[in-house]
Structure 1
């Protein structure tokens, strides 16, 4: 295995992470000065010269074995009990038990944005809803929506490793939201990045049904204005937000009247 260290600014992180996945990274970590990525084969870093790449051999890391040592059950929000799949801890009274297989996928409940999304799902999911999880990672958010009573749950992710893990618990396809049928979701949750959310703004609108809601997270407070502008341009209306530390979750609505206007224009 190879370890790649890159120095970059917070503003460059989103774009660089996408490049690292494209290069075949098996895992990516944020460091104080930038990013650390791991590859099974030596990657071609010629296109990353501006980030002063430092490449060195790394002993193969057993990610799951490490997780077994440090990952403990956790209470999130008012309803959820997150537990790794290798433990048999019962859920406390009144809690919904979600089994997590960390593997190589993002979404163990440890990150602030995952917790923000879980808490938002508690507030917004209603029985029978159609929910779409964009950038599913391990599938934790789609699982949560189903446990809360959603009638139809689907998920998508660009990372084949994440899709393989998520499929163990929920329907998940490899790809992006552009493959999703129009007006098919009552609620979309997207815990990805500010850059990805801006890029998918019009797809979010297309996929939401009348009075549909978007839960957008995966970005820091300083990125909120750009996210707002992109989603407003797509016709989505701000509907509140929440934060934990520097991380944010923003909510948006597609009102029925706005949907009618949009439909008459296309």
Structure 2
């Protein structure tokens, strides 16, 4: 089987957005490394099975990456290269770059092939080697999980918007949430999330749905979580109350600090209050997670 390695040099800030676009295009795996001579730039390498349509698909990926500038994301000059590789080469490199790590004090992300001796209080989330996306390395994911831990009880119902590979929903299940729904507009993400939930033994505790917030959710949740791009958060805010009750809490993450004021104003305009703002740095970029509730 022939494979293409797509090598993209971009910024730390654009990592999540570019990774999502590569996932949507059908990448079978990816890993990142720091760009030489730059603290702010990274190299993302994604792997695609070679098909007759691949060249056109990759042109579309390039076009979509370029449009990220329209959402005020600093994506850098974006150096885009295509290389021929063997499957064994990228599969082994993917494994070499993914080791168990603590994403919060008590939650550990572990690839299936690695041994790890868990402490009694630790929650282990297993990730399949074929699922390179949403592995939890980004600070927005750790901030989200910290906020979920702080706001979740055994009676809590959780809605995970833009669930991706389901890490937040899986963590909520292992933390004991009463009802969990993971929603994503991308069928590839929903399939990956279901596979990861099965791998972690929580398939029966999470319902993963394909669709958008307005058309797919008919229940009011205690905790609504969204770790997605800022422009999508801005689109979601006016509809959040439709899936919340007066005592619900929201957690919004994936927010670059440059978008913080706009999101805070949009929340205020739609009748929400902010309870906490968690700010963390990833290399040279600052990221924000916001928790809050309805004013009513």
TM-score over 0.5 (shorter chain): yes
Residue 162 (structure 1) shift: 2.2
Query: Which of 75, 85, 90 pairs up with 1:59?
Result: 85
Q: Which residue of 2 aligns with 1:203?
A: 239
CA distance in structure 2 between the partners assigned to 1:218 and 1:226 by the alignment: 14
Tell me what 1:42 maps to. Answer: 55
Separation (CA, whole Å) in 2 of partners of 1:94 and 1:216: 27
Residues 96-143 of structure 1 deviation map (CA, whole Å, 9 limit, x = unaligned): 122122534532121111111111111111111110111112211111
Aligned-residue Cα RMSD (Å) equals 3.3
Matched residues in 1 for 2:65 and 2:172: separation? 42
Provide the residue aligned with 1:150 in structure 2.
177
Residue 264 of structure 1 corresponds to: none
Equivalent in the alignment of 1:138: 165
**Correspondence 1:13-24 to 2 at 5 A:** none
Q: Tell me the equivalent position of 2:212.
A: 176
Alignment size in residue pairs: 256
Structure 1 residues 38, 144: closer, same or farther in 2, change over 3 A?
same
Alignment match, 2:112: 85
Matched, 1:212 2:242: no
TM-superposed CA distance for 1:148, in Å, is 1.5
- For residues 9 and 144 of structure 1, the distance between their equivalents in structure 2, rounded to whole angstroms, comes to 28
For 1:219-258, what per-residue CA distance to the aligned partner results, in whole angstroms no more than 9, with x for missing partners?
A: 2111111222233333222111112101111112124x3x
SS of 1:110's equivalent in the other structure is: coil
SS at match of 1:106: coil
Q: Deviations over 1:32-71 (max 9, x none)?
A: 2897765541125378399487453442556654332222
Aligned to 1:249: 289
Q: Distance in 1 between matches of 2:138 and 2:257?
A: 15
The equivalent of 2:124 in structure 1 is: 97
- Where structure 1 has 5 or more consecutive residues not aligned to the other structure, the ranges are 258-266
Q: After superposition, give the CA deviation of every residue in 1:190-245 in whole Å (9 maximum; x if it has no partner).
A: 11110111111123221112221111111211111122223333322211111210
C-alpha distance in structure 2 between counterparts of 1:149 and 1:36, whole Å: 36
Q: Which residue in 1 is equivalent to 2:276?
A: 240
Shift in Å, 1:180? 3.5
**SS at the partner of 2:258?**
helix
Higher mean displacement: 96-105 or 182-191: 96-105
Which has the larger displacement, 40-49 or 190-199?
40-49
Q: Gaps (5+ residues) in structure 2?
A: 36-40, 67-77, 198-205
Q: Structure 1 stretch 220-229 or stretch 35-44: which is displaced more? A: 35-44
- CA 1:57–1:70: 2 relative to 1, 3 Å: closer
Structure 1 residues 235 and 3: alpha-carbon distance in aligned structure 2, compared to 1, 3 A threshold: farther
2:203 aligns with none
Shift of 1:23: 5.3
TM-score by length of 1: 0.79
2:190 alignment counterpart: 163
Moved more, 135-144 or 66-75: 66-75
8 Å Cα contact 1:154/1:171 also seen in 2: yes
